[in-house]
A and B are shown apart, each in its own frame.
Chain A
Amino acid sequence: MAKSEVKLLGAWPSPFVMRPRIALNIKAVEYDFLEETFGSKSQLLLQSNPVHKKIPVLIHADKPICESLIIVQYIDEVWTSAPSILPSDPYDRAIQRFWAAYVDDKFFPTMRGISAAQGEEAKKAVVEQVAEALALLEEAFGKCSKGKAFFGGDRIGLLDIAFGSMLGWLRVTEKTNGLKLLDEAKTPGLAKWADRFCADAAVKGVMPETEKLAEFSKVLMAKMRGAPPPK
């Protein structure tokens, strides 16, 4: 398949963009990574995702696919000769989808809320919520991995990708706020899993360095304080 047949519209700091990149790496699919300029949206993006106008967008043979977890499942269903990203058992699939949705609907907004919290009391409350979420995910890890390396078993799967893509911003949040969120003492399974995930061949090249992401975070915060974000 020609490289230009598969394009991904995205940006390096986005955890959502990282998800299809990991999936494409697992499938050893070459693609053109078209990076959006921070602060503006390209014509191609607006044309390919007119409904949400958001990245990531996968463009495969000129057809756009949107929403990160939908893209990952698409990738899994198209490139079937390579390792599977979703488990084959319907119940296991439902469990992975459940926790992936939990990461998006609960974990990510709560984690983001730490930096936005005003005052010590408010911050402490949000940190407590994140700790509770991580405790639930630790339990889920135990049940899903069944003693193996990843949520997906021996290899990275949907839930590893969904949650693992958040690790960059998790580390930045820890650094910026002087916190330890992923604690070996409290969530030993997740702490070890996080290192394995980041070291995986499919992840290494696309997980941004914490330093670089922290720098970007400062730019992002400044821009958000300076002016309302463009629609």
Chain B
Amino acid sequence: MADEVVLLDFWASLFGMRVRIALAEKGIEFEYKDEDLRNKSELLLKMNPVHKKIPVLIHNGKPVCESLIIVQYIDEVWNDKSPLLPSDPYQRAHARFWADFVDQKVYAVGKNLFSKKGEDQEAAKKDFLEIYKTLEGELGDKPYFGGEIFGLVDIALVPFYSWFYVYETLGKLSMAAECPKIIEWAKRCLLKESVAKSLPDQKKVYKAFVEWFGVE
């Protein structure tokens, strides 16, 4: 029996991108449904009544919500190839910790960077760079956060690369200058087909962002 896999998503969603990458890593065929977040579909509201948010993975009619939970679900169901988590319990805990760090810190500092003005933005910029420097420290000399193998933490973080042009332009900073290792790592990830086809173009994201939020 063929699996029926549907992804409710939004093209610019950092969280949706994670799921797209995981599905691609595993070579899973799925139906992609782009939501209009200002006019959410009946299906989305039915499949995620608690949060009413994307991404939602619908596997044989059953919904799985929350991006990192979905990625782990994908890893556990399609466990015959491309493991997204290491097998050692300590390494797994380490990966989960850093994926959680991305959730707790990275989205918020990015949001503050473009939503604040003046002195507050200067403070937001400082926090933003501090978080990315912490990530650079964790990455070290490894090719991926997962070590030799692209994994959960890489999947959690790499979508943010598609938003870097937004951060750079509105936050008045240069990621290449401030966080060269992150840029190097992101470009390495983009060499993977699963990542390249899951991330939208940076300029496209910026253009849409400007349209939605009416930035000057």
Interface residues of A (CB under 8 A from B): 51, 60, 63, 65-67, 70-71, 73-74, 77-78, 90-91, 93-94, 97-98, 101-102, 136
Contacts and interface: CB of A to CB of B under 8 A. Distances in A.
A67 B89 contact: no
The secondary structure that dominates the B interface is helix
A90 B77 contact: yes
Interface in B73-107: 73, 76-77, 89-90, 92-94, 96-97, 100-101
A91 B89 CA distance: 20
Contacts of B77: 90
A39 B62 CA distance: 46
Nearest to A61: B90
A74 B88 CA distance: 10
A91 B62 contact: yes
A103 to B, nearest CB: 12
Contacts of A78: 89
Contacts of B90: 60, 63, 65, 74
A94 B72 contact: yes
Given A78-B89, A94-B64, 15 more contacts: A51-B101, A65-B93, A65-B97, A66-B97, A70-B93, A74-B90, A74-B92, A93-B73, A93-B76, A94-B70, A94-B73, A97-B66, A97-B72, A98-B69, A101-B66
Given A51-B134, A77-B89, A93-B76, A98 B96 contact: no
B50 interface: yes
Q: Which 7 A-B pairs have the closest CB atoms?
A: A77-B89, A90-B76, A74-B93, A94-B73, A70-B96, A65-B93, A97-B69
A77 B91 CA distance: 11
A77 B90 CA distance: 9
Contacts of B66: 97-98, 101
Contacts of B92: 73-74, 77
Interface of B: 50, 59, 62, 64-66, 69-70, 72-73, 76-77, 89-90, 92-94, 96-97, 100-101, 134
B100 A70 contact: yes
A73 B93 CA distance: 8
Contacts of B76: 90, 93
B68 to A, nearest CB: 9
Contact of B93 (A71, A91, A94, A102): A71
A67 B65 contact: no
Contacts of A77: 89, 92
Contacts of B89: 74, 77-78
A70 B97 contact: yes
